[in-house]
Amino acid sequence: MSSKASDSGILSDGTTSEVRREAALLKTDALQSAIFNSANFSSIATDAKGVIQIFNVGAERMLGYCAADVVNKITPADISDPEEVVARARTLSAELETPITPGFEALVFKASRGIEDIYELTYIRKDGSRFPAVVSVTALRDANNAIIGYLLIGTDNTARKQVEAEQKLLDQRLRDLQFYTRSLIESNIDAIMTTDPAGILTDVNNQMEALTGCTRDELIGTPFKNYFTDPQRAENSIKLVLSEKKVTNYELTARARDGKETVVSYNATTFYDRDRKLQGVFAAARDVTERKRLDQVLREKNVELESSKSVAESANLAKSNFLSSMSHELRSPLNAILGFAQLMESDATPPTTSQKGSIDQILQAGWYLLELINEILDLAVIESGRLTLSLEPVSLPEVILECQEMIEPQAQKRGISLTFPRFDVPTYVRADPTRLKQVLINLLSNAIKYNRDHGTVEVTCAMRPAERRRISISNSGAGLAPDKLAQLFQPFNRLGQESSGEEGTGIGLVMSKRLVELMGGVIGVESAVGVGSVFWFELDAAAQPQLDANALESTVAATVPVQAGAPRRTLLYVEDNPANLMLVEQIIQRRPDIRLLSAANGTLGIELARRHQPDVILMDINLPGISGFEALRILREDTATAHIPVLAISASAMARDIKLGMEAGFLRYLTKPIRVSEFLAALDAALESLGT
């Protein structure tokens, strides 16, 4: 039974061998069909001459042709880049040392010789677009090993090409970045270096090579500290960077191979990889040798400057002391001259006409000499930069009116007509009121002094750009030539007027210019010969200040005159100069309400003050023995005399002298020569401060 079944081809499982062969063939065909028709590969089969016989689904998808478009019509060379085909033929001809015809032969030549052949080629789609492909070529043979055709299996290489292109671009960018980074390092003026955490050099730039006299290869791999005069300090700098993360302006001295030493400012920081793992230290060393030299020169110059400044200050102090001493020495005799002349002028028995003329000459010359002293001292103070101004809103109408009242008598003597502006609205400028008045008086005085008889002087006020007020003083004098205008505002230069009958020092215009500039203004002049001159100055305009009612009341109260029939008061005058004492005695004789006591020195003055308790003390500053300042201090510390108001009187009349006197505690500081009216007003104010 089994033998019979075997003979008939029936197997143990009930199937015949032929059935099994058919099933295997079907499975193989299905597998081959699946592979051949895969959409991911282009499978192109040709006959022996290269004409396409099979064009699978993958080929249709990749190339855009239908099988019917190409089968039995074209070869694979017809859908390949012709230039690449020609290039491949040329390359293979050289490689295999045999002529190969460009075309299909170039695509399958290796395969036809039994050589495995996989190459890159650009396929051209039906629509003309192109894509890179990797092509594997195999020769198809029959049972006798004769070639009956070729199989070309291709894959789209676009993605890989893109990746390669991107990688190539990235590689190029990396190279560019490395080149750029290296260029930055090499172009730096500092010596640049990197070390590992142990302080071993890992990279350097050209400046580091120049600094040490060693090549890059010689430096890399050696300790950083080896190239400095103090290796321990250099090593400590690395440790400091590692602990503090950075170091700035750490000074080291580099030593080159030839022994040359260079002072460098060392700046460093730590650096890390992308995982934040410490890689080492990045450092820059800048040559500061020249800077150190310049610092030394600067220190030496500063010492010289301080020395020069000290010398200049000493010279200024000596100059100030000289001027103060000169002022004191000149004012003391002037005090007697002007004081007694004023008394003679106002004596109960009027002087004769001849005597009055002599007295007028004495007073005129004396006051002029005092003016000259004041102007010289003022100019010295301004030039030294020690003049202090109080800039505040100042009413122009009020100042001009005060100046008008002061200057009109001078104009009337020569028949000169004065014209002043009218102000319909409040007008203020930013200025020091005293110094503004000084400038105006000086310019008005000059306008009268250098005018023709019966001439004119006109004062005008106008608004200027940038919120400025211009005050102009024009006169009808002879005018100035251009060469004379250029010499204006020079000290002691009277432009040839020295021989004229007009008094003058040549200081007034210089003073005016300095004062106007200190008040933030400008001054100038316009003149024409035979026509006259216009002197002008500009100051910043200011808003009208708000009045304080309390301050106004106190001001009014302070100016109330002494009431008639007031009780007799006692004045103690401490003075060592007999002439000055005699002058005050004669002034006080005209005040029956005041009794005068006198002391020739400060010690006696203190004793008399304690004994007689005077209402007011008039204290000279420069006394034999103790000074007026010391006497004031003793009086203030004694409860018996601390309440007595003390007036200072001195020939030391510089601004700093007056300031020191007021700061010391004097009620007022009067300067010699005495102006009788000013002296009496100060005395009355002191008495009034006591109350009734």
Q: Is residue 592 part of a domain?
A: yes
What pLDDT does 374 receive?
A: 67
Domain count, the chain: 4
Instruction: Assess whether 636 and 584 both reside in one domain.
Output: yes
Domain boundary residue, one of 287, 303, 319: 287
What pLDDT does 450 receive?
A: 85
Q: Is residue 293 part of a domain?
A: no
Q: What is the pLDDT of residues 528-542, one digit of tens each?
A: 888 889 999 999 999
Instruction: Assess whether 210 and 135 both reside in one domain.
Output: no
For the residues 676-683, what does the mean pLDDT come to? 88
Domain boundary residue, one of 104, 139, 156: 156
329, pLDDT greater than 90: no
More confidently predicted of 25 and 663: 663
Instruction: Assess whether 40 and 123 both reside in one domain.
Output: yes
4, pLDDT greater than 50: no
Using CB atoms within 10 A of its CB, is residue 605 exposed (0-12), middle (13-18) or buried (19+)? Answer: buried
Instruction: Assess whether 512 and 615 both reside in one domain.
Output: no
- Dist CA 291 CA 547 (whole Å): 59
Residue 49 confidence class, pLDDT cut points 50, 70, 90: very high
What pLDDT does 497 receive?
A: 53
Tokens standing for residue 658: 């007056």
b/e code 476-487 from CB counts within 10 Å (16+ = b)? bbbbbeeeebee
User: Do residues 504 and 497 touch, judged by C-beta distance below 8 A?
Assistant: yes
Q: Which CATH number belongs to the domain containing residue 228 in this structure?
A: 3.30.450.20
User: Do residues 149 and 184 touch, judged by C-beta distance below 8 A?
Assistant: no
For the residues 409-415, what does the mean pLDDT come to? 88
Residue 48 confidence class, pLDDT cut points 50, 70, 90: very high
Query: Is the previous residue joined to 673 through a cis bond, with omega within 30 degrees of 0?
Result: yes
Residue 372 confidence class, pLDDT cut points 50, 70, 90: low
User: Do residues 267 and 244 touch, judged by C-beta distance below 8 A?
Assistant: no
Instruction: Assess whether 460 and 519 both reside in one domain.
Output: yes
What pLDDT does 371 receive?
A: 64
What pLDDT does 31 receive?
A: 55
Instruction: Assess whether 135 and 30 both reside in one domain.
Output: yes
For the residues 513-531, what does the mean pLDDT come to? 89
Q: Calculate helix-pair angle for 508-518, 433-449, nearest 10 degrees.
A: 150
For the residues 80-90, what does the mean pLDDT come to? 94
Instruction: Assess whether 567 and 532 both reside in one domain.
Output: no
Instruction: Assess whether 145 and 76 both reside in one domain.
Output: yes
Q: What is the pLDDT of residues 230-283, one digit of tens each?
A: 999 999 999 999 999 999 999 999 999 999 999 999 899 999 988 899 999 999
Instruction: Assess whether 394 and 464 both reside in one domain.
Output: yes
Q: Helices marked H in 124-247 — which ranges?
A: 158-187, 206-212, 216-219, 231-244
What pLDDT does 330 receive?
A: 66
Q: What percent of the chain has pLDDT over 90?
A: 37
What pLDDT does 313 receive?
A: 67
What pLDDT does 498 receive?
A: 45
Q: Is residue 474 part of a domain?
A: yes
Instruction: Assess whether 473 and 538 both reside in one domain.
Output: yes
Q: Is residue 484 part of a domain?
A: yes
122, pLDDT greater than 50: yes
Q: Report the 3 state secondary structure along 602-664.
A: HHHHHHHHHHHCCCEEEEECCCCCCCHHHHHHHHHHCCCCCCCCEEEEECCCCHHHHHHHHHH
Q: Is residue 1 part of a domain?
A: no
Q: Is residue 356 part of a domain?
A: no
Q: Is residue 169 part of a domain?
A: no
What pLDDT does 559 receive?
A: 34
- Dist CA 555 CA 536 (whole Å): 33
Q: What is the pLDDT of residues 433-455, one digit of tens each?
A: 878 988 898 899 888 988 888 99
Instruction: Assess whether 117 and 213 both reside in one domain.
Output: no
Question: How many residues are given for the chain?
Answer: 692
- Dist CA 393 CA 315 (whole Å): 36
User: Do residues 416 and 454 touch, judged by C-beta distance below 8 A?
Assistant: yes
Mean pLDDT of the chain: 82
What pLDDT does 555 receive?
A: 30
Structural domain range at position 672 = 557-688
Closest to 123 measured CA to CA, from 49, 58, 47, 203 = 58
User: Do residues 264 and 251 touch, judged by C-beta distance below 8 A?
Assistant: yes
Domain boundary residue, one of 225, 252, 287: 287
Token pair 């106008």 is found at 462
Q: Determine the 3-state secondary structure of 138 from DSSP.
A: strand
- Dist CA 222 CA 199 (whole Å): 9
Amino acid at 117: D
Q: Report the 3 state secondary structure along 37-75.
A: CCCCCEEEEEECCCCEEEECHHHHHHHCCCHHHHCCCCC
Q: What is the pLDDT of residues 472-494, one digit of tens each?
A: 999 988 888 777 776 676 654 54
Contacts of 70 (CB under 8 A, 6+ apart): 52, 55, 79
Instruction: Assess whether 647 and 532 both reside in one domain.
Output: no
Which H helix or E strand runs over 534? strand 532-542
For the residues 598-620, what does the mean pLDDT come to? 91
Q: Helices marked H in 188-225 — which ranges?
A: 206-212, 216-219
**By mean pLDDT, which of 99-113, 119-133, 178-192, 251-265 is the weakest?**
178-192
User: Do residues 525 and 536 touch, judged by C-beta distance below 8 A?
Assistant: yes
- Dist CA 487 CA 506 (whole Å): 11
Q: Report the 3 state secondary structure along 558-590.
A: HCCCCCCCCCCEEEEEECCCHHHHHHHHHHHCC
For the residues 367-378, what does the mean pLDDT come to? 66
Q: What is the pLDDT of residues 290-313, one digit of tens each?
A: 888 888 888 888 888 887 777 766
Which H helix or E strand runs over 132? strand 130-141
Tokens standing for residue 541: 């305009």
Q: Is residue 342 part of a domain?
A: no
